[in-house]
Amino acid sequence: MASSAHSRGSVRTERQVPPARGNGGGNPPARSRSSSAKRSLRVSSDDDKNSGRVRVAVRVRPKTTEENDLDFTDCVELQPELRRLKLKKNNWSSESYRFDEVFTESASQRRVYEAVAKPVVESVLDGYNGTVMAYGQTGTGKTYTVGRLGKDDPSERGIMVRALEDIFANISPGSDIMAISYLQLYLETIQDLLAPEKTNIPVVEDPKTGEVSLPGSAIVQIKDLNQFLELLQVGEANRHAANTKLNTESSRSHAVLVVHINRSLEGKKENDASSLANVTNSELSSHHLPHLLKSKLLIVDLAGSERIDKSGIEGHMIEETKFINLSLTSLGKCINALAENSPYIPTRESKLTRLLRDSFGGTARTSLIVTVGPSARYYSETASTIMFGQRAMKVVNAVKLKEEVDYESLCRKLEYHVDYLTSETDRQQKLRENEKEQLEKKLKEKEAFLVETEKKISVKCEHLEKERNHLVLETQSLLKALNIQKSEKDKLSQEVGHLEISLKQAKQQELENLNYQKVLAETTQMYEKKIAQLIKQQEDESSRCADLEEQLSGMKNYPSGNKKSVQMQEKEIDELKGEILKLNEDAASTIQSLRARNNELSLEKELLNGELKTLKDKLLYEERKRRCLEDEIIILKNALNDDNAEYESKRPYKGDITTKSTLSLGGPANIPKSNRSRETISGQKDTISKIFEEVGLSNILALLKSEDLDVQIHAVKVVANLAAEDVNQERIVAEGGLDTLLLLLESSEDANIHRVTAGAIANLAMNSSNQGLIMGKGGARVLANIASKTEDPQTLRMIAGAIANLCGNEKLHVTLKKDGGLKALLGMVQCGHSDVIAQVARGFANFAKCESRDIILGHRKGRSLLIEDGVLNWMATSSATFSASTRRHIELAFCHLAQNEDNTLEIIRSGGIKELIRISRESSREDTRNLAMKALDSNPAFSTEIHAT
């Protein structure tokens, strides 16, 4: 880490390491020696003689497919056991070179790290600066060797990751500090890969010590390996790379990872006050001053040298290649000058050589790995790389220990101890003063409490006396009130006695009234009997009068007789006549009233007969009309069956996300492909219009309840065709047609009824106002239930079309999922019918599009409802197997789901990144390709995943 100068600045001492690490002075502290003794790899015997020499290893990459196909011969022959490489110019001319390590194409990443980088990492942990660098032609595996992350396979991890693993394993988190910077040299400007906004960072050299620093670069302290991997991934994403003929991901810049390590020689820091108390003046001697090891590790991934004619680059990439080759040339000049012990080293010709000033000819321990290809096609590049490595092996660095006296730490300890003692003294003094104040305060409180208690006791005694007097008065008043209540109770008892007497009298009176009513009823019955007797007597008198008249007429025929008896009889006859006359008048009045009543009843009867006749006529008319309608429908049935069969065979149900589908009689209606289809549809519409005008909508809907199955089917077909026209939909719903269709769909067991009814509901579902009514009446649940019971592709196609139209209303999405609509759509895929799957894909596209629009407008947040039912996995794995139109719907739905960042994790898990990339390249629709590219570019997680794979 870069640190600013402090007023109590540390004193740095640099001790040059002797040739043999284990001899003489300059030994690291005991802790470093013990940790170093455990490390397995040691320098070779050659390095023991010259420990500061740059160690160089060579690694040969495997042959590429192109090289195998073109059958190029190998120009490199390896002798790993002799640490030699033989470079063959042709079959009879070759040269042999010796390196510190020679790695074949099968060498593992672990072996490369332990042989090349691990000795440098161990030196850095002991307090020395170190550099590990990869050099070679482009496409020979430098970035693979150095910067491979190995997320999926840890065995493929490169030098950067393995070096950090070793460092974490050997430092103490409590006392040691580690931080990193990650930079790139691009077009001769230094840029920060961890903070891309920082560009053109200057290179500053300390005139006294010669150390190189980069002010302004981000230095991030790291705690664990996972944090480092995340930072490294961010840096790799910001690094410049391009696709060339030699390498699909060719690095266009030099990358430098700088690892700063500060290690305390005292081991664990002492933070408690007791340890600080032991610091004495004797410890300030030079033998007991705290020391700090400040070391720095550079891991450099150089951009590969390349030739324009072989790499096939053009445009801006030529400028990049120019700067890469210039900086590598400057580095080669410096290596040559150092190898030849030249008095002038041209380090200032390039920022790369200034950055690596300490690595070549400086105080750092350096390891270089050169990478080459085996093919003779690149003989000149391979020879140049090998010669660079051979010259680098001649460079010897004066390795020095970076050790400082940590006055800052000692000063902080002393300051902390002084502050602790001062605060402890102040605390004790304050405690004594507080204790005194608290005792005085308690004494005053006790005295005040005693006085207050005495006052309260006297006041309480007075209050008790007053209360006793008050209770005496209250007792007297209560006695008076009790006497008054007693007298009132006596009065009430008297009143209760009077009331009981009155109650008995009332009961007796009621009993008498009951007896009176009984007598009155008996009297009434008696009078009724008397009236009946009088009526009977009147009838008897009438009959007797008739007999007397007959006798009178008979007596007049007698010529003789007693005149007196005649007169008496005449008198008696007159009396009888008077009685008869009176009886006749009464009978006449009674008969007249009965006739009047009879007339009234006759009039009422005539009115009722007239109304009954009218109702019968109306019923007969309706019956005849119904029979006529049924006859007409039966007559039209054959023609409709022929037209419908031909229409359905030629018109498969199709739908598009931007247009709404309509259904004809028993099937969908789309744009016809021939004149015959147009004539068929025109004839059907004319027939339907004729039936609609002659029969009426209410009568057509009434036929839906007919017991004749054929009549029901054709009535539903008529309603379905009427529903295809927007002008008829409102009337159908207002007349109760939607309720009847849903009831018929749920109650019927006939497959034809299911098919045509689902088609009619699908047509009604095209209207947004009807969609809410369908969902409110449980239409989605009914459709899903029928879909689970049937296997008929035509029925499933109609149901899928209806649910697809409902998916186009974002307000119904939650209810649609709750009622099982989405699960039913996904379940219908199992039938395997292309038309059904097309409707399913259209429904998911409608759903995803509306959901994406809601998220953009801020009306909705969270993960898509489609993901919870497994729709995403189906779309990611099956889109390529369907027809072009179905695939377009699935691609559109997938792109809309990718716009929602909350779906990112599920899309990555389902392998959706590959599908998005395929859509962006291969989709037949330009708008879908643009939508896929927008999703890939706008989501950082997608970009990271793409770079990682």
Looking at per-residue pLDDT, the higher value among 609 and 159 belongs to 159
Least confident of 98-102, 476-480, 535-539, 766-770: 535-539
Q: 410-419, 696-705, 780-789, 867-876: which has the highest mean pLDDT?
A: 780-789
Q: 162-166, 615-619, 623-627, 704-708: which has the highest mean pLDDT?
A: 162-166
Confidence of residue 661 (pLDDT cuts 50, 70, 90): very low
- Give mean pLDDT, residues 15-37: 38
As given in the structure block, the two tokens for residue 418 are 């002084």
CA-closest candidate to residue 58, choices 374, 510, 457, 509: 374
- 578 belongs to an annotated ligand binding site: no
**pLDDT (tens digit per residue) in 623-646:** 676 667 666 666 655 555 544 444
Q: What is the pLDDT of residue 276?
A: 42
Task: Match 């962006």 to its residue by tokens.
Answer: 920
Report the C-alpha gap between 660 and 893 in whole angstroms.
17
Q: 298-302, 306-310, 321-325, 525-529: which has the highest mean pLDDT?
A: 298-302
How many residues does this entry show for the chain?
A: 949
Please give the helix or strand (H or E) that residue 291 lies within, else none: strand 291-301
Alpha carbons within 13 angstroms on the beta-carbon side of residue 516 total 6
- 523 belongs to an annotated ligand binding site: no
pLDDT beyond 50 at 271 = no
**pLDDT (tens digit per residue) in 921-933:** 888 888 888 888 8
pLDDT beyond 50 at 46 = no
Confidence of residue 945 (pLDDT cuts 50, 70, 90): confident
- 817 belongs to an annotated ligand binding site: no
Looking at per-residue pLDDT, the higher value among 506 and 7 belongs to 506
Looking at per-residue pLDDT, the higher value among 554 and 515 belongs to 515
* Percent of the chain with pLDDT strictly greater than 70: 79
Q: What is the pLDDT of residue 45?
A: 41
pTM, entire model: 0.44
- 138 belongs to an annotated ligand binding site: yes
- Which residues are within 8 A (CB) of 64 and not within 5 positions of it... i.e. 6 or more apart? none
Amino acid (1-letter code) at residue 287: H
Confidence of residue 195 (pLDDT cuts 50, 70, 90): very high
- 347 belongs to an annotated ligand binding site: no
- 141 belongs to an annotated ligand binding site: yes
- Give mean pLDDT, residues 591-614: 72
pLDDT beyond 50 at 8 = no
Q: What is the pLDDT of residue 636?
A: 59
Confidence of residue 502 (pLDDT cuts 50, 70, 90): confident
> Three-state SS for 669?
strand
Report the C-alpha gap between 387 and 341 in whole angstroms.
17
pLDDT beyond 90 at 164 = yes
* Percent of the chain with pLDDT strictly greater than 90: 27
- 662 belongs to an annotated ligand binding site: no
- What structural domains and CATH numbers belong to the chain? 43-53+113-267+286-368+380-405 (3.40.850.10)
> Three-state SS for 704?
coil
Separation in Å, CA 911 to CA 207, 324, 827, 900:
55, 37, 22, 16
Confidence of residue 112 (pLDDT cuts 50, 70, 90): very high
CA-closest candidate to residue 374, choices 142, 70, 67, 143: 67
Looking at per-residue pLDDT, the higher value among 113 and 771 belongs to 113
Q: What is the pLDDT of residue 253?
A: 93
Confidence of residue 592 (pLDDT cuts 50, 70, 90): confident
Report the C-alpha gap between 663 and 897 in whole angstroms.
30
- 371 belongs to an annotated ligand binding site: no
pLDDT beyond 80 at 270 = no
**pLDDT (tens digit per residue) in 446-475:** 999 999 998 989 888 888 888 888 888 888
The mean pLDDT value of the chain amounts to 79
Q: What is the pLDDT of residue 635?
A: 63
**pLDDT (tens digit per residue) in 118-156:** 999 999 999 999 999 999 998 899 999 999 998 889 999
**pLDDT (tens digit per residue) in 668-718:** 333 333 444 445 545 555 555 555 555 667 777 777 777 778 887 888 888
Confidence of residue 290 (pLDDT cuts 50, 70, 90): confident
Residue 458, Cβ density class (10 Å: 0-12 exposed, 13-18 middle, ≥19 buried): exposed
